[in-house]
Amino acid sequence: MIERLQTILKNAELSIMDAEDLKSIDDIRVKYLGKSGELTEILKGLNQVSADLRPQVGKVSNEIKNKIAELLDQKKEDLDSKVNQSAIPGWDPTLPGRKSVIGKMHPLMIVQKEIADIFKNLGFDVAEGPDLETDYYNFLALNFPPDHPARDAQDTFYVKNKVLRTHTSPIQVREMEKRKPPFKFIAPGRVYRNEAIDATHHHIFHQVEGFLVDEGIQFIHLKGVLDVFIKKFFGAEVKTRFRPSFFPFTEPSAEMDISCVFCKGQGCRICKQSGWVEMMGCGMIDPVVLKNCGINDEKWTGFAFGMGVERIALFKYGIDDIRLFYQNDIRFLNEF
């Protein structure tokens, strides 16, 4: 009896699947669930089944009855939907579908990718790291003293016993800890600083860190790499210059300027009539940082640099307000 019930269910499922109109659905319902339907006849004959099998047969019969009814209702709903769609005025199912609007890369990601591609062509690998960092990787290993102003809560976002990284330099430490020189990497990523938002500052922005460690590396190698990058990104006519500066993790340190891309170095409002604009910080990796990473500073030397993606994007596209990158104005984003 159970096998017969299973056969009825299988045949009903196949019939429902092949049904092409509402009349077919009604015919199938009558055939299996009607007053003289196959399943109904079995339920009528339960009194002829032995008493010990009657509960099981009755249970399976009701389950199959409910299953067939559910399949019939679902098939009817599907057919009704198709009928309603075909009745819509002007609707032609033979017409090709409308293409979906494909999203575009954000201008900051466009610039970040261009930066990365240039350095990858120079042999640099790409490394990534966590946004939420420990004090050790964000400050201590990079030679920030305990009383450095950058550690203050007015400059840094603290999350319990960790910090939202204030630069992508922690990736430099993490990579140097697990690799043996020589190596060269760039580390793009989002960083966070507790700053007031205005036309030139934001508490969330993006950086591309770069570092290289090898034997015999000198400051001239750093200047050469960065000069090549600037000329490939902005054009061969753009000049570079380096000014002394200070960063805890590099010694000596420098700020790199480029000739103003707006006035071609002649002087304008953007460069404050100087003909130069600040582009990035850089320098030779401090021996203390190399020692913290387990690298022999007597054998190996290296350089590091860090640039703001937003700043480069401002100069590349002639934008005067960094906040435009974060307002999600589709009119602005569609320009790129």
pLDDT for residue 289 is more than 70? yes
Mean pLDDT across the chain = 86
Residue ranges of domains in the chain: 2-86, 107-333
Task: Kindly state the average pLDDT of the residues 102-123.
Answer: 92
DSSP labels, 54-116: HHHHHHHHHHHHHHHHHHHHHHHHHHHHHHHHHTSTT--TTSPPPPPPPP---HHHHHHHHHH
Give pLDDT, residue 83: 59
Give pLDDT, residue 188: 95
Lowest mean pLDDT among 62-66, 211-215, 251-255, 279-283: 62-66
User: With contact defined as beta carbons under 8 Å apart, do 54 and 46 qualify?
Assistant: yes
H or E, element range at 126: strand 125-126
Give pLDDT, residue 61: 78
CA–CA separation, 307 and 206 (whole Å): 9
pLDDT for residue 228 is more than 60? yes
Give pLDDT, residue 91: 65
pLDDT per position as a tens digit, 70-91: 888 888 888 777 655 555 666 6
Please tell us whether the domain made up of 107-333 is placed in CATH 3.30.930.10: yes
Give pLDDT, residue 93: 67
Lowest mean pLDDT among 125-134, 193-202, 242-251: 193-202
Give pLDDT, residue 122: 95
- Higher local confidence (pLDDT), 314 or 150: 314
How much is the pTM?
A: 0.67
> Both tokens of residue 183?
């190596």
Taking only Cα atoms into account, the Rg of the chain, rounded to an integer number of angstroms, comes to 35
- Higher local confidence (pLDDT), 81 or 332: 332
Burial class (CB in 10 A: 0-12, 13-18, 19+), 229: buried
pLDDT for residue 47 is more than 80? no
Give pLDDT, residue 10: 81
Give pLDDT, residue 259: 92
